[in-house]
Amino acid sequence: MCGCAQIGLRKTLVVLASVLLVLLVGACGTGTPVKTANRTIAAVTEGDFAITAATHLKAGDVVLRVHNKGPEEHELIVAQVRDGRLPFRADGFTVDEEALQRSEPGSLVPGQPGSTRDLHVRLAPGRYVLFCNMAGHYLGGMHADLVVTQ
């Protein structure tokens, strides 16, 4: 085989590999909310011990697409707050959900590691906290702030 043919084949393979890499990176998602006809879909990732989500959304119907990276079960609670602080129960390790019921647009029960679930909520303008309230998870860092604008 001529050296020119080998160089041409090598260049073709490099170009194909580069195109494939660009397509794969583009498909990974950035966490940027996606606006559909009547609602926004926003990615939320739960892991030990962090929640990653958009920090700003527009008011209205929102689908929080929650992926649990595990290895533990995690729940997701969305609560509207005025000062960014949540009330704790007497145990000092978990948030007092009963005190938040009127300001809670939605929640998901604990989901298995590797699962992806959708939480449909209607968000009014204001400040929210997304959090997992399983024993010690909130204090371990499983919370994220969200600002909802008009």
Q: Whole-angstrom Cα distance, residue 130 to residue 11?
A: 48
* The pLDDT value given to residue 39: 79
Is residue 91 located within the same domain as residue 126? yes
For residue 24, is pLDDT > 50? no
What b-and-e string marks burial along 138-148, b requiring 16 or more CB atoms within 10 Å of the CB?
beeebbbebeb
Is there a single domain that holds both residue 132 and residue 102? yes
Q: What is the tally of structural domains in the chain?
A: 2
Number of other CB atoms surrounding residue 22 within 10 Å:
10
> What is the share, in percent, of the chain residues with pLDDT greater than 70?
75
My answer on whether 5 and 53 are in the same domain is no
Of residues 104 and 28, more confidently modeled? 104
pLDDT at residue 30 is higher than 70: no
Report yes or no on whether pTM surpasses 0.85: no
| 53 touches 144 (CB < 8 A) | yes
Statement to judge: residues 37 and 17 lie in one domain = no
The whole-angstrom distance between residue 96's C-alpha and the CA centroid of its chain comes to 23
Distance CA 3, CA 126 (A): 66
Question: Identity (one letter) of the amino acid at 23?
Answer: L
Angle at 29 between CA 73 and CA 21, to 5 degrees: 120
Residues 24 and 40 in one domain: no
**Rounded Cα–Cα distance for residues 87 and 13 (Å):** 58
Q: What is the pLDDT of residues 62-111, one digit of tens each?
A: 999 999 998 999 999 999 998 768 999 999 889 999 999 889 999 999 99
Question: Does residue 4 register a pLDDT over 70?
Answer: no
Q: What DSSP designation does 91 have? A: T
Confidence at residue 21, expressed as pLDDT on a 0 to 100 scale = 33
pLDDT in the model for residue 47: 93
Alpha helices in the chain (DSSP H): 3-27, 97-100
Q: What is the mean pLDDT of residues 7-17?
A: 49
Q: Which residue segment(s) compose the domain that 9 sits in? A: 1-29
